[in-house]
Amino acid sequence: MSTLRIAVQKSGRLHDESMELLKDIGISIDNGIDQLKASARNFPVEVFYLRNGDIPQYLKDGVVDAAIIGENVLIEKGNGINIAEKLGFSSCRVCVAVPKTMNYTSISDLEGKRIATSYPHTVQSFLDKNGINANLHIINGSVEIAPNIGLADAIVDIVSSGSTLFKNNLKEVEMILKSEAVLAVSPILDAEKQAILDTIQFRMQSVLRGRQSKYILLNAPNDRIQDIINVLPGMKSPTVLPLAQEGWSSVHSVISKNEFWNVIDELKANGAQGILVCPIEKMVL
């Protein structure tokens, strides 16, 4: 039987969240310190721990079959690699930042400037799109230090909270793109490995739906049930069960965590009482 080879980042936040997702979909990995490859105990999967920037080439060459990788890295280096699933974690953005002392008013202020970055293709495409000529300095590592040592007038780098920019007296002035972790697939994948990947993707979708949803239970007066049902999106339709107290029913449904408080306010306004909200581990459709 074939074994699917999945690459994940060797260390860091993306690594930790990737391994957590694999665990949540039922794949048990035994890996030691500094181990570069590990096999799953209960699933036909091998996990390769690689440098993020190397993964796109391994996907292209078929050295690995799939990867959990930052979308920004694929945009920079992964031309021709398909994204099977967006995973909703490790969110960041690729941004232009300049010294706080710079009087930046528009993108035209980058004309003729020196820009330090680890994403030259992404930056050049952005500059070309906006008709800006600038000089790129390719740096692998601490890009944010470049303006402070006189190497560049601006930088382009990934930003999460913005604290690193703040510490280096930089300010964010343009956002080039938003990024998150994705499941990427090698263009060289046979039918047997595709079947394994389909199972993994199905499990991931179930976990991700659960993370984005909440299970809600409430008590409703029977004469207000239809009004309350109209507020609840549900999966197909809410479950309604009679309570021991005459004239009342229990309503069960699923709501998006992003709409949580708005939905709760509407439910209360429509007579709902005893509202309970619970996390969902997985949601299989």
The confidence band for 233, taking pLDDT boundaries of 50, 70 and 90, is: low
pLDDT tens-digit map of 249-272: 999 999 888 888 998 999 999 999
In a domain, 284, yes or no: no
Residue of 35 and 12 predicted with greater confidence: 12
In a domain, 172, yes or no: yes
- Same domain, yes or no, for 77 and 20? yes
- Same domain, yes or no, for 11 and 143? no
- Same domain, yes or no, for 83 and 130? no
**What are the residues whose beta carbons fall under 8 Å from the beta carbon of 79, sequence distance 6 or more?**
none
Q: Examine the pLDDT at 169 and tell me if it is beyond 80.
A: yes
In a domain, 116, yes or no: yes
d(CA 252, CA 280): 13
- Same domain, yes or no, for 132 and 147? yes
**Where among 158, 189, 210 does a domain terminate?**
210
- Same domain, yes or no, for 42 and 68? yes
Residue-averaged pLDDT of the chain: 92
Do residues 39 and 30 touch, judged by C-beta distance below 8 A?
Answer: yes
- Same domain, yes or no, for 80 and 14? yes
What whole-number percentage of the chain has pLDDT above 90?
Answer: 77
d(CA 223, CA 207): 36
Neighbours of 131 (CB within 10 A): 9
| pLDDT score for 242 | 93
What whole-number percentage of the chain has pLDDT above 70?
Answer: 98
Query: Number of structural domains, the chain?
Result: 3
**Where among 169, 189, 210 does a domain terminate?**
210
In a domain, 17, yes or no: yes
Return the CATH number at 144. 3.40.190.10
In a domain, 155, yes or no: yes
Return the CATH number at 250. 3.30.70.120
- Same domain, yes or no, for 122 and 235? no
In a domain, 267, yes or no: yes
pLDDT average, residue stretch 46-72: 94
- Same domain, yes or no, for 79 and 20? yes
pLDDT tens-digit map of 130-148: 999 999 999 887 899 999 8
| pLDDT score for 182 | 97
- Same domain, yes or no, for 13 and 127? no
Do residues 272 and 228 touch, judged by C-beta distance below 8 A?
Answer: yes
Please give the C-alpha separations between residue 112 and each of 34, 123, 133, 195, 202, in angstroms, as whole numbers: 44, 14, 6, 51, 49
- Same domain, yes or no, for 34 and 106? no
**Where among 188, 210, 232 does a domain terminate?**
210
- Same domain, yes or no, for 78 and 117? no
| pLDDT score for 80 | 85
Helices (H), the chain: 13-24, 55-61, 71-77, 120-129, 163-167, 191-211, 225-231, 260-269
Do residues 66 and 186 touch, judged by C-beta distance below 8 A?
Answer: yes
Domain boundaries, position 262: 213-279
In a domain, 285, yes or no: no
pLDDT average, residue stretch 5-25: 93
pLDDT average, residue stretch 228-236: 78
- Same domain, yes or no, for 189 and 76? yes
In a domain, 151, yes or no: yes
The confidence band for 207, taking pLDDT boundaries of 50, 70 and 90, is: very high
* Out of 32-46, 174-188, 265-279, least confident range: 32-46
